[in-house]
Amino acid sequence: MFRSTPRASGYYRTGYGQDLALIQTRTERISLAILVTLAIALPFIAGPFLLDLACQVFLASIGALSLMLLTGYAGQISLGHAGLIAAGAFTTGILAREIAAPFWITLPASALTGILLGLIFGLPSLRLRGLYLAVSTLALHFIVIYLGGEYETKRGFSTGILIDPPSLAGFKLTDGRAWYFVLLLAAAASLMICINLLRSSSGRAWRAVHARETVAEALGINVAGYKLLVFVISSSMTSVAGCLFAYYRGFVSIEAFDLFLSIQYVAMIIIGGMGSLLGALLGAAFVTLFPYLIESLLALLPNIQKFAGDIFAVNYTAFGVVMILFLVFEPLGLVGIWRRLQNYFLLWPFKYRPLTGARK
Amino acid sequence: MAELAVDNLSLRFGGLTVLDNVSFAVETGELFALIGPNGAGKTSALNCISGIYRGTGAVRFRGQDILGLKPHQIARQGLARTFQHGELFAQMSVLENLLTGRHARIGTHPLAEMLFLPSVKRAEIAHREAVERIIDVVELERYRHAPVGALPFGLQKIVGFARALALEPTTLLLDEPSAGLNREERENLARFILRIKHELNVTIVWIEHDMQMISDLADRVHVLDYGRTLAEGRPEVVLNDPAVLAAYLGTAA
């Protein structure tokens, strides 16, 4: 699920409960501790620009994780993820603007919007598969964007809706550092929800539906029910990400949710590695940071000011090229590279890899 | 009362009659073989019973009419099946395949699963124990963590058999479990079939082409040919029936 199969030797278990534990070896415990320490220390070391990047990665991670659940595990393709983020953002924006709803109302309201949209746009999945399903989810995107645009023009917010920063228990969330921790927690919670679902009955049912629907059905799995369930869970998670996005930016406008955003989410799970939660996280970080990387690389070139207008084009092109390179040379994505590294160092400096499936 | 009763089951695809008024009744604990030449309608009959195809007539499982129910509802009643080509989940480990096969018996709520509440953990452990008992019956201990796609074909067939057993069915439908197995693997399979019949008291409907296995193991044999019943009875009687021999070997012109 989250890890590759070969693991350290010498760890023995005496009960099946121990087999369910997420952290099993000392190395894992130490790496997790280091990771948590780094994540907590980062906002005290990093400047505002780096903090903003981290926040963007966390927001993208929630969307990528939910799309991974839907596409990477349950096998249902969606091109409507930008629409779902927009739905969450607009629910938040409209409620905050019209009835001055506080954070603790807009967040569940966004989740509810996601659940409703997931139910409606999960229905075609009961009949359609693959590309046909993708096109039907595309409709979701356009409907949400249309409704959002209508609201903006009718109410005269043609440039977008401004939202006041949320207050949590009387504490106004304006500080970048506070935002960092809120979004880190939200991303960590989404990750835990995905891990937990995937290691229990629903996760197995989704993977079975992905592999072969008739067989899943014959094994006693309610295929229609589980398809709707994954759409609902994925959509509500994404809408919550949209709500957080709206507050974080303090501003909602339809321009932010074009089709390219949906493509970027699909790119995240492909570049990260299909069927892996770690892949969703790596992909989210990669796709979010990639444009900044290209820009800073271009800045190193001489006479770059003359071509300032072309940076966008270069960025899009580079993104396309990287997508193609991944599809051709590394279909397993970043997580494939990561696993190969892990396997290489597992018995390093010895040459032979352990037998696959020898022991988790 | 018969465990599984099929009455006048018919199935048509357009103008093609696949099953024509097939009737049989399987008693509790019986090992009932379904044989016939290729294209006789054996797998179609199984698909009708497990709800994948919808035939006409009646299928009663433990006195209850199951014709028209969805496949997952039928599986839930305790009627499990295997597939001719395995149809395993290649990416998943043997354990995960078996736990998926047990899905109908695991009733944890998705909301509880999101938080992996203690109740979910307890259920996962309990079902793991149940699945380990099946692994013990079919001797797959060595391979429990191996991804199924990496196992040799013979073992994959056994995993498919185990996945159906993981549901703890009262009746098991086996679709050519021995196809493609070598002699040793067939002997193992025969051992497992007898074990679940006698130890777990599972009723078995068994599609098979290996006449040796059938005459050694089956309690009763039902022969189909072009969707019609040709003969039914004890294996030593049926397998010597001239009509059955003619269907399998053809008649002298």
Q: Where are the domains of chain A?
A: 24-259
pLDDT band at B219 (very low <50, low <70, confident <90, very high): very high
Query: What pLDDT score was predicted for residue A356?
Result: 52
Nearest CB to A204; choose among B87, B99, B129: B99
B56-61 and B64-65: which strand pairing?
Answer: antiparallel
Count other Cβ atoms within 10 Å, centred on residue A192.
14
List of residues 6+ apart from B179 with CB closer than 8 A: B84, B157, B209
Q: Are B49 and B24 in contact (CB under 8 A)?
A: no
Going by C-alpha positions, the residue among A64, A109, A103, A56 that lies closest to residue A82 is A64
Contacts of B115 in chain A (CB under 8 A): 193, 196
- The answer to whether the CB atoms of B92 and A233 lie below 8 A apart is no
Across the A:B interface, residue pairs with CB atoms under 8 Å apart total: 113
Tell which residue, B93, B90, B63, B88, has the closest CA to residue B78.
Answer: B63
Inter-chain CB proximity A356 and B146 less than 8 Å = yes
Strand partners, A161: A252
Higher pLDDT, A6 or B185: B185
On whether any CB of chain B is under 8 Å from the CB of A229, the answer is yes
- What is the helix, strand, coil percentage profile of chain B, to 5? 40, 25, 35
Give the H or E element holding residue B233. Answer: strand B228-233
* Phi, then psi, of B10 in degrees rounded to 5: -130, 150
Residue A106 token pair:
């807009």
Instruction: Confirm if B159 and B148 have CB atoms less than 8 A apart.
Output: yes
Interface membership of A356 toward B (CB under 8 Å): yes
Q: Across-strand partners of B24? A: B6
* A319 φψ region: left (φ > 0), alpha (ψ -120 to 50), beta (else): alpha
Q: What string of DSSP letters covers A319-358? A: HHHHHHHHHHH-TTHHHHHHHHHHHHHHSTTS-PPPPTTS
Residue A100: what pLDDT? Answer: 85
CATH superfamily of B1-78+169-253: P-loop containing nucleotide triphosphate hydrolases (3.40.50.300)
**Strand intervals (E) in A62-178:** 161-162, 167-168, 171-172
- Is the Cβ of A219 closer than 8 Å to some Cβ of chain B? yes
Chain A interface includes B117 (CB < 8 A):
no
Q: Give me the residue spans of the domains in chain B.
A: 1-78+169-253, 89-166
What's the length of chain B?
Answer: 253
Report the pLDDT value the prediction gives residue A8, as an integer from 0 to 100: 55
CA distance A317 to A329: 18
Tens-digit pLDDT profile for residues B49-108? 999 999 999 999 999 999 989 999 999 999 999 999 889 999 999 999 999 999 999 989
Which chain A residues are Cβ-neighbours of B93 within 8 angstroms?
357
CA dihedral A238, A243, A246, A248 (to 10 degrees): -100
Rounded percentage of chain B residues whose pLDDT exceeds 90: 83
Measure the CA–CA gap between A206 and B2, rounded to whole angstroms: 35
pLDDT digits (tens, 9 = 90+) for B143-160: 988 899 999 999 999 999
pLDDT at res. A355: 55
Q: What is the distance in angstroms between the Cα of A207 and the nearest Cα belonging to chain B?
A: 8
Q: What is the pLDDT of residue A27?
A: 83
- Looking only at the bridges linking them, the beta strands covering B220-225 and B31-35 are parallel
Q: Which amino acid is at A156?
A: G
Nearest to B50 among A16, A218, A360 (CB): A218
Chain B residues lying within 8 Å of A205, measured CB to CB: 100, 103
Counting as low any pLDDT under 70, the low residues of chain A are 1-9, 169-170, 351-360
Tracing tokens 């040459």 back to the chain, one arrives at A351
**pLDDT digits over B49-59, tens only?**
999 999 999 99
Compute the distance between CA of residue A246 and CA of residue A96 in angstroms, rounded to an integer: 10
Among the listed residues A194, A223, A236, A208, the one whose alpha carbon sits nearest the alpha carbon of residue A107: A236
- Residue B147, chain A, CB below 8 Å: the answer is yes
pLDDT digits (tens, 9 = 90+) for B10-23: 999 988 999 999 99
Cα distances (Å, whole numbers) of residue B36 to A58, B46, B233, B249: 61, 13, 14, 11
Question: What pLDDT is recorded for position A359?
Answer: 41
